[in-house]
Structure 1
Protein backbone atom coordinates (compact mmCIF):
# COMPACT_ATOMS: atom_id res chain seq x y z
CA UNK A 1 0.00 0.00 0.00
CA UNK A 2 1.37 3.42 -0.91
CA UNK A 3 2.17 6.16 1.58
CA UNK A 4 -0.81 8.36 0.66
CA UNK A 5 -3.32 5.58 1.38
CA UNK A 6 -1.66 4.70 4.67
CA UNK A 7 -1.70 8.35 5.80
CA UNK A 8 -5.36 8.77 4.76
CA UNK A 9 -6.46 5.82 6.87
CA UNK A 10 -5.12 7.56 9.97
CA UNK A 11 -7.45 10.52 9.41
CA UNK A 12 -10.87 10.82 11.12
CA UNK A 13 -12.82 10.60 7.85
CA UNK A 14 -11.74 8.00 5.28
CA UNK A 15 -13.63 5.21 3.57
CA UNK A 16 -12.12 1.83 2.79
CA UNK A 17 -13.69 0.13 -0.21
CA UNK A 18 -12.95 -2.70 -2.60
CA UNK A 19 -12.83 -2.58 -6.39
CA UNK A 20 -13.41 -5.55 -8.67
CA UNK A 21 -12.54 -5.82 -12.36
CA UNK A 22 -13.53 -8.91 -14.33
CA UNK A 23 -12.38 -9.13 -17.95
CA UNK A 24 -14.09 -11.66 -20.21
CA UNK A 25 -14.37 -12.04 -23.98
CA UNK A 26 -17.95 -10.67 -23.79
CA UNK A 27 -17.67 -7.85 -21.25
CA UNK A 28 -15.50 -6.07 -18.71
CA UNK A 29 -17.25 -5.69 -15.36
CA UNK A 30 -16.11 -3.01 -12.91
CA UNK A 31 -17.81 -3.03 -9.51
CA UNK A 32 -17.14 -1.33 -6.19
CA UNK A 33 -18.36 -1.54 -2.61
CA UNK A 34 -18.39 2.26 -2.33
CA UNK A 35 -20.55 3.69 -5.10
CA UNK A 36 -19.36 5.61 -8.17
CA UNK A 37 -15.53 5.59 -8.16
CA UNK A 38 -13.39 6.89 -11.03
CA UNK A 39 -9.86 5.52 -11.27
CA UNK A 40 -7.80 6.80 -14.15
CA UNK A 41 -9.81 6.27 -17.33
CA UNK A 42 -12.06 3.64 -15.70
CA UNK A 43 -15.19 3.95 -13.58
CA UNK A 44 -16.28 1.43 -10.95
CA UNK A 45 -19.98 1.24 -10.04
CA UNK A 46 -21.83 -0.11 -7.03
CA UNK A 47 -24.44 -1.55 -9.40
CA UNK A 48 -24.01 -2.49 -13.04
CA UNK A 49 -27.40 -2.27 -14.79
CA UNK A 50 -26.68 -5.38 -16.88
CA UNK A 51 -24.65 -7.68 -14.63
CA UNK A 52 -25.60 -6.70 -11.09
CA UNK A 53 -23.80 -6.03 -7.82
CA UNK A 54 -21.12 -7.56 -5.62
CA UNK A 55 -22.70 -9.90 -3.13
CA UNK A 56 -19.74 -11.01 -1.03
CA UNK A 57 -15.98 -10.83 -0.99
CA UNK A 58 -13.84 -13.27 1.01
CA UNK A 59 -10.88 -12.63 3.26
CA UNK A 60 -7.96 -13.00 0.89
CA UNK A 61 -5.21 -15.23 2.28
CA UNK A 62 -2.06 -16.76 0.88
CA UNK A 63 -1.95 -20.46 0.16
CA UNK A 64 -0.37 -22.90 2.62
CA UNK A 65 2.59 -25.13 1.72
CA UNK A 66 2.00 -26.46 -1.80
CA UNK A 67 -1.48 -24.92 -2.06
CA UNK A 68 -2.08 -21.72 -3.99
CA UNK A 69 -4.46 -18.90 -3.15
CA UNK A 70 -8.14 -19.44 -3.95
CA UNK A 71 -11.11 -17.12 -3.59
CA UNK A 72 -14.89 -17.20 -3.99
CA UNK A 73 -16.50 -14.01 -5.30
CA UNK A 74 -20.27 -13.55 -5.35
CA UNK A 75 -22.17 -11.51 -7.93
CA UNK A 76 -25.94 -10.92 -7.78
CA UNK A 77 -27.34 -10.28 -11.28
CA UNK A 78 -30.44 -8.07 -11.69
CA UNK A 79 -32.42 -10.43 -13.93
CA UNK A 80 -32.33 -13.73 -15.80
CA UNK A 81 -30.46 -12.28 -18.78
CA UNK A 82 -27.71 -10.95 -16.52
CA UNK A 83 -27.68 -14.21 -14.61
CA UNK A 84 -27.16 -16.24 -17.79
CA UNK A 85 -24.38 -13.90 -18.93
CA UNK A 86 -22.46 -14.00 -15.64
CA UNK A 87 -22.86 -17.75 -15.07
CA UNK A 88 -21.73 -18.76 -18.56
CA UNK A 89 -19.03 -21.45 -18.32
CA UNK A 90 -17.11 -19.99 -21.26
CA UNK A 91 -15.71 -17.34 -18.90
CA UNK A 92 -13.38 -19.97 -17.39
CA UNK A 93 -9.78 -18.74 -17.19
CA UNK A 94 -10.83 -15.10 -17.59
CA UNK A 95 -8.89 -12.55 -15.54
CA UNK A 96 -10.39 -11.17 -12.33
CA UNK A 97 -8.77 -8.66 -9.95
CA UNK A 98 -9.71 -7.10 -6.61
CA UNK A 99 -8.17 -4.01 -5.00
CA UNK A 100 -8.42 -2.41 -1.57
CA UNK A 101 -8.86 1.36 -1.94
CA UNK A 102 -9.09 4.44 0.27
CA UNK A 103 -11.58 7.24 -0.46
CA UNK A 104 -11.61 10.81 0.73
CA UNK A 105 -14.63 11.13 3.00
CA UNK A 106 -15.44 14.63 1.73
CA UNK A 107 -14.96 14.25 -2.03
CA UNK A 108 -15.46 10.51 -2.52
CA UNK A 109 -12.34 10.39 -4.68
CA UNK A 110 -9.50 7.89 -4.44
CA UNK A 111 -6.53 8.68 -2.25
CA UNK A 112 -3.28 7.18 -3.45
CA UNK A 113 -3.15 3.98 -5.48
CA UNK A 114 -5.46 1.03 -4.69
CA UNK A 115 -3.68 -2.00 -3.23
CA UNK A 116 -4.02 -5.23 -5.21
CA UNK A 117 -5.57 -7.91 -2.98
CA UNK A 118 -6.15 -10.65 -5.52
CA UNK A 119 -5.29 -11.38 -9.14
CA UNK A 120 -6.52 -14.66 -10.51
CA UNK A 121 -8.57 -16.51 -13.07
CA UNK A 122 -12.12 -17.83 -12.91
CA UNK A 123 -12.14 -21.59 -12.43
CA UNK A 124 -15.88 -22.24 -12.65
CA UNK A 125 -19.18 -20.62 -11.57
CA UNK A 126 -21.60 -22.00 -8.97
CA UNK A 127 -25.26 -21.05 -8.85
CA UNK A 128 -27.20 -20.31 -5.64
CA UNK A 129 -30.97 -20.13 -6.02
CA UNK A 130 -32.49 -18.70 -2.85
CA UNK A 131 -34.16 -15.38 -2.10
CA UNK A 132 -32.10 -14.10 -5.02
CA UNK A 133 -30.14 -15.78 -7.77
CA UNK A 134 -26.45 -15.51 -7.06
CA UNK A 135 -23.41 -16.58 -9.04
CA UNK A 136 -20.39 -17.66 -7.00
CA UNK A 137 -17.19 -17.48 -9.00
CA UNK A 138 -14.64 -20.03 -7.83
CA UNK A 139 -11.28 -18.45 -8.60
CA UNK A 140 -7.67 -19.54 -8.43
CA UNK A 141 -4.44 -17.74 -9.06
CA UNK A 142 -2.47 -17.96 -12.28
CA UNK A 143 0.34 -19.55 -10.26
CA UNK A 144 -1.91 -22.57 -9.69
CA UNK A 145 -1.24 -23.56 -13.30
CA UNK A 146 2.32 -24.38 -12.25
CA UNK A 147 0.97 -27.19 -10.06
CA UNK A 148 -1.00 -28.84 -12.84
CA UNK A 149 0.43 -32.09 -14.21
CA UNK A 150 1.97 -31.80 -17.65
CA UNK A 151 1.86 -35.38 -18.86
CA UNK A 152 0.63 -34.02 -22.19
CA UNK A 153 4.06 -32.53 -22.86
CA UNK A 154 6.17 -34.98 -24.77
CA UNK A 155 9.30 -35.03 -26.88
CA UNK A 156 7.20 -35.94 -29.91
CA UNK A 157 6.23 -34.51 -33.27
CA UNK A 158 2.54 -33.83 -32.39
CA UNK A 159 3.38 -31.86 -29.25
CA UNK A 160 6.29 -30.10 -30.96
CA UNK A 161 3.98 -28.89 -33.71
CA UNK A 162 1.30 -27.85 -31.23
CA UNK A 163 3.83 -25.30 -29.96
CA UNK A 164 5.55 -24.52 -33.29
CA UNK A 165 3.01 -25.27 -36.07
CA UNK A 166 4.64 -26.42 -39.29
CA UNK A 167 8.09 -26.95 -37.73
CA UNK A 168 9.05 -30.47 -38.87
CA UNK A 169 12.22 -30.95 -36.86
CA UNK A 170 10.81 -34.03 -35.11
CA UNK A 171 8.68 -35.37 -37.97
CA UNK A 172 11.12 -38.07 -39.05
CA UNK A 173 13.06 -38.65 -35.85
CA UNK A 174 12.98 -42.18 -34.45
CA UNK A 175 13.41 -43.36 -30.89
CA UNK A 176 11.26 -40.68 -29.29
CA UNK A 177 9.12 -43.23 -27.52
CA UNK A 178 11.67 -43.83 -24.78
CA UNK A 179 11.69 -41.83 -21.57
CA UNK A 180 14.11 -38.89 -21.61
CA UNK A 181 15.33 -37.68 -18.21
CA UNK A 182 16.07 -33.98 -18.24
CA UNK A 183 18.83 -32.69 -15.96
CA UNK A 184 18.77 -35.86 -13.87
CA UNK A 185 20.47 -39.23 -13.76
CA UNK A 186 18.52 -42.15 -15.16
CA UNK A 187 16.99 -44.39 -12.45
CA UNK A 188 18.89 -47.60 -11.80
CA UNK A 189 17.83 -50.38 -14.14
CA UNK A 190 15.98 -48.08 -16.51
CA UNK A 191 18.41 -48.76 -19.33
CA UNK A 192 17.94 -45.25 -20.70
CA UNK A 193 20.37 -42.39 -20.72
CA UNK A 194 19.69 -38.92 -19.42
CA UNK A 195 19.79 -35.88 -21.63
CA UNK A 196 23.43 -35.07 -22.41
CA UNK A 197 24.37 -31.63 -23.63
CA UNK A 198 27.42 -31.37 -25.90
CA UNK A 199 30.33 -33.80 -25.76
CA UNK A 200 31.27 -35.71 -22.68
CA UNK A 201 31.66 -39.13 -21.26
CA UNK A 202 29.11 -40.82 -23.56
CA UNK A 203 27.17 -43.84 -22.38
CA UNK A 204 24.15 -43.50 -20.13
CA UNK A 205 25.28 -40.68 -17.88
CA UNK A 206 22.76 -37.95 -17.10
CA UNK A 207 23.22 -34.23 -17.10
CA UNK A 208 24.42 -34.36 -13.50
CA UNK A 209 27.43 -36.37 -14.62
CA UNK A 210 28.65 -33.70 -17.01
CA UNK A 211 31.31 -31.15 -16.23
CA UNK A 212 30.14 -27.98 -14.54
CA UNK A 213 29.66 -24.93 -16.70
Structure 2
Protein backbone atom coordinates (compact mmCIF):
# COMPACT_ATOMS: atom_id res chain seq x y z
CA UNK A 1 0.00 0.00 0.00
CA UNK A 2 1.32 3.45 -0.89
CA UNK A 3 1.85 6.09 1.78
CA UNK A 4 -0.10 9.29 2.21
CA UNK A 5 1.14 12.86 1.85
CA UNK A 6 -0.02 15.30 4.54
CA UNK A 7 0.99 18.97 4.24
CA UNK A 8 0.96 21.72 6.85
CA UNK A 9 0.49 25.25 5.52
CA UNK A 10 0.23 28.71 7.04
CA UNK A 11 1.70 32.14 7.50
CA UNK A 12 4.74 32.84 9.64
CA UNK A 13 3.96 32.23 13.30
CA UNK A 14 0.93 30.05 12.59
CA UNK A 15 2.41 27.12 14.51
CA UNK A 16 3.44 24.80 11.68
CA UNK A 17 6.17 23.07 13.70
CA UNK A 18 3.71 22.20 16.47
CA UNK A 19 1.20 20.97 13.88
CA UNK A 20 3.83 18.75 12.27
CA UNK A 21 4.62 17.28 15.69
CA UNK A 22 0.90 16.69 16.35
CA UNK A 23 0.49 14.81 13.06
CA UNK A 24 3.66 12.81 13.77
CA UNK A 25 2.36 11.75 17.18
CA UNK A 26 -0.97 10.70 15.63
CA UNK A 27 0.85 8.51 13.10
CA UNK A 28 3.09 7.01 15.78
CA UNK A 29 0.07 6.01 17.85
CA UNK A 30 -1.26 4.17 14.80
CA UNK A 31 2.06 2.48 14.12
CA UNK A 32 2.42 4.17 10.74
CA UNK A 33 5.91 4.74 9.34
CA UNK A 34 6.49 8.34 8.28
CA UNK A 35 9.11 10.88 7.34
CA UNK A 36 9.13 14.69 7.61
CA UNK A 37 10.21 17.20 4.95
CA UNK A 38 10.20 20.96 4.60
CA UNK A 39 9.97 23.40 1.72
CA UNK A 40 11.94 24.91 0.30
CA UNK A 41 14.59 22.31 1.17
CA UNK A 42 14.71 18.64 2.03
CA UNK A 43 17.61 17.59 -0.23
CA UNK A 44 21.18 19.02 -0.39
CA UNK A 45 20.41 20.89 -3.62
CA UNK A 46 17.01 22.10 -2.40
CA UNK A 47 18.53 23.28 0.90
CA UNK A 48 21.04 25.36 -1.06
CA UNK A 49 18.14 26.91 -2.96
CA UNK A 50 16.41 27.58 0.37
CA UNK A 51 19.41 29.63 1.47
CA UNK A 52 19.25 31.63 -1.76
CA UNK A 53 15.54 32.36 -1.26
CA UNK A 54 15.76 33.30 2.41
CA UNK A 55 18.83 35.55 2.55
CA UNK A 56 19.01 39.26 1.83
CA UNK A 57 20.62 40.41 -1.42
CA UNK A 58 22.00 43.75 -2.57
CA UNK A 59 19.59 43.71 -5.50
CA UNK A 60 15.89 43.32 -6.06
CA UNK A 61 14.84 39.68 -6.28
CA UNK A 62 12.03 39.53 -8.80
CA UNK A 63 8.85 37.67 -7.95
CA UNK A 64 9.43 35.43 -10.95
CA UNK A 65 12.98 34.51 -9.86
CA UNK A 66 11.71 33.69 -6.37
CA UNK A 67 8.92 31.56 -7.80
CA UNK A 68 11.27 29.57 -10.06
CA UNK A 69 13.62 28.85 -7.16
CA UNK A 70 10.71 27.56 -5.10
CA UNK A 71 9.62 25.17 -7.81
CA UNK A 72 13.17 24.04 -8.54
CA UNK A 73 13.57 23.08 -4.88
CA UNK A 74 10.11 21.48 -4.82
CA UNK A 75 10.59 19.24 -7.84
CA UNK A 76 13.90 17.97 -6.41
CA UNK A 77 12.22 17.13 -3.11
CA UNK A 78 9.26 15.40 -4.74
CA UNK A 79 11.41 13.35 -7.14
CA UNK A 80 14.14 12.34 -4.69
CA UNK A 81 12.36 12.04 -1.33
CA UNK A 82 8.57 12.28 -1.36
CA UNK A 83 7.63 10.00 -4.27
CA UNK A 84 10.04 7.20 -3.26
CA UNK A 85 8.80 7.34 0.34
CA UNK A 86 5.14 7.15 -0.69
CA UNK A 87 5.85 4.32 -3.11
CA UNK A 88 7.45 2.31 -0.30
CA UNK A 89 4.42 2.78 1.96
CA UNK A 90 5.91 5.52 4.14
CA UNK A 91 3.68 8.50 4.92
CA UNK A 92 5.15 11.98 4.42
CA UNK A 93 4.48 15.07 6.55
CA UNK A 94 5.37 18.19 4.61
CA UNK A 95 6.06 21.61 6.11
CA UNK A 96 4.70 23.56 3.09
CA UNK A 97 4.16 22.47 -0.51
CA UNK A 98 2.63 23.86 -3.71
CA UNK A 99 -0.14 25.76 -1.90
CA UNK A 100 2.54 28.01 -0.40
CA UNK A 101 3.66 29.21 -3.83
CA UNK A 102 0.09 29.79 -4.95
CA UNK A 103 -0.55 31.87 -1.83
CA UNK A 104 2.79 33.66 -1.36
CA UNK A 105 3.89 34.23 -4.94
CA UNK A 106 0.47 34.01 -6.58
CA UNK A 107 -1.32 36.12 -3.96
CA UNK A 108 1.32 37.95 -1.96
CA UNK A 109 3.53 38.75 -4.98
CA UNK A 110 0.41 39.13 -7.16
CA UNK A 111 1.67 36.89 -9.94
CA UNK A 112 -1.81 35.40 -10.35
CA UNK A 113 -2.85 31.77 -10.48
CA UNK A 114 -2.50 31.21 -14.24
CA UNK A 115 1.31 31.34 -14.14
CA UNK A 116 1.34 29.15 -11.05
CA UNK A 117 -0.88 26.52 -12.66
CA UNK A 118 1.32 26.40 -15.74
CA UNK A 119 4.46 25.96 -13.66
CA UNK A 120 2.84 23.35 -11.45
CA UNK A 121 1.73 21.34 -14.47
CA UNK A 122 5.22 21.50 -15.93
CA UNK A 123 7.05 20.45 -12.77
CA UNK A 124 4.62 18.33 -10.72
CA UNK A 125 1.93 17.23 -13.15
CA UNK A 126 -1.04 15.92 -11.16
CA UNK A 127 1.00 15.14 -8.05
CA UNK A 128 -0.32 16.69 -4.84
CA UNK A 129 -1.05 16.10 -1.15
CA UNK A 130 -3.74 13.72 0.06
CA UNK A 131 -4.57 16.21 2.81
CA UNK A 132 -3.52 19.78 3.59
CA UNK A 133 -3.99 21.46 6.97
CA UNK A 134 -4.00 25.23 6.53
CA UNK A 135 -3.32 26.97 9.85
CA UNK A 136 -5.23 30.23 9.55
CA UNK A 137 -4.08 33.13 11.72
CA UNK A 138 -4.26 36.93 11.70
CA UNK A 139 -1.00 38.10 10.07
CA UNK A 140 -0.41 40.60 12.86
CA UNK A 141 -0.48 37.85 15.50
CA UNK A 142 1.59 35.50 13.38
CA UNK A 143 4.30 38.06 12.70
CA UNK A 144 4.49 38.96 16.40
CA UNK A 145 5.11 35.29 17.13
CA UNK A 146 7.71 35.08 14.35
CA UNK A 147 9.64 38.04 15.76
CA UNK A 148 10.01 36.26 19.12
CA UNK A 149 11.91 33.44 17.34
CA UNK A 150 14.76 35.74 16.36
CA UNK A 151 15.98 37.44 13.19
CA UNK A 152 13.48 37.59 10.35
CA UNK A 153 14.45 36.34 6.88
CA UNK A 154 13.94 38.24 3.61
CA UNK A 155 10.35 37.11 3.09
CA UNK A 156 9.35 37.58 6.73
CA UNK A 157 10.43 41.24 6.42
CA UNK A 158 7.81 41.97 3.76
CA UNK A 159 5.20 44.70 4.30
CA UNK A 160 2.05 43.79 6.21
CA UNK A 161 -0.08 44.08 3.05
CA UNK A 162 1.90 41.24 1.52
CA UNK A 163 0.82 38.87 4.30
CA UNK A 164 -2.78 40.06 4.13
CA UNK A 165 -2.86 39.25 0.41
CA UNK A 166 -1.21 35.88 1.09
CA UNK A 167 -3.74 34.97 3.78
CA UNK A 168 -6.63 36.03 1.57
CA UNK A 169 -5.35 33.81 -1.25
CA UNK A 170 -4.85 30.88 1.13
CA UNK A 171 -8.48 31.12 2.18
CA UNK A 172 -9.69 31.38 -1.42
CA UNK A 173 -7.70 28.29 -2.39
CA UNK A 174 -8.89 26.36 0.66
CA UNK A 175 -12.52 27.14 -0.14
CA UNK A 176 -12.08 25.73 -3.66
CA UNK A 177 -10.28 22.50 -2.70
CA UNK A 178 -11.88 19.85 -0.51
CA UNK A 179 -8.47 18.33 0.34
CA UNK A 180 -7.53 21.57 2.15
CA UNK A 181 -8.89 21.94 5.69
CA UNK A 182 -8.77 25.23 7.58
CA UNK A 183 -7.51 25.03 11.18
CA UNK A 184 -8.20 28.06 13.37
CA UNK A 185 -4.63 28.56 14.59
CA UNK A 186 -5.32 31.61 16.77
CA UNK A 187 -7.05 29.45 19.37
CA UNK A 188 -5.34 27.91 22.45
CA UNK A 189 -2.81 25.19 21.63
CA UNK A 190 -4.92 22.31 22.95
CA UNK A 191 -7.83 23.45 20.76
CA UNK A 192 -5.61 23.70 17.69
CA UNK A 193 -4.27 20.20 18.28
CA UNK A 194 -7.81 18.88 18.76
CA UNK A 195 -8.86 20.40 15.42
CA UNK A 196 -5.90 18.73 13.69
CA UNK A 197 -6.56 15.32 15.20
CA UNK A 198 -10.29 15.51 14.43
CA UNK A 199 -9.46 16.30 10.78
CA UNK A 200 -7.05 13.37 10.58
CA UNK A 201 -9.60 11.03 12.16
CA UNK A 202 -12.25 12.04 9.63
CA UNK A 203 -9.85 11.50 6.74
CA UNK A 204 -8.56 8.13 7.98
CA UNK A 205 -10.92 6.57 10.50
CA UNK A 206 -9.44 3.80 12.66
With structure 2 as the length reference, what TM-score do the two structures score?
Answer: 0.23
Structure (1 or 2) with the larger CA radius of gyration: 1
Structure with higher helix content: 2
> What TM-score, normalized to structure 1?
0.22
More strand by share: 1
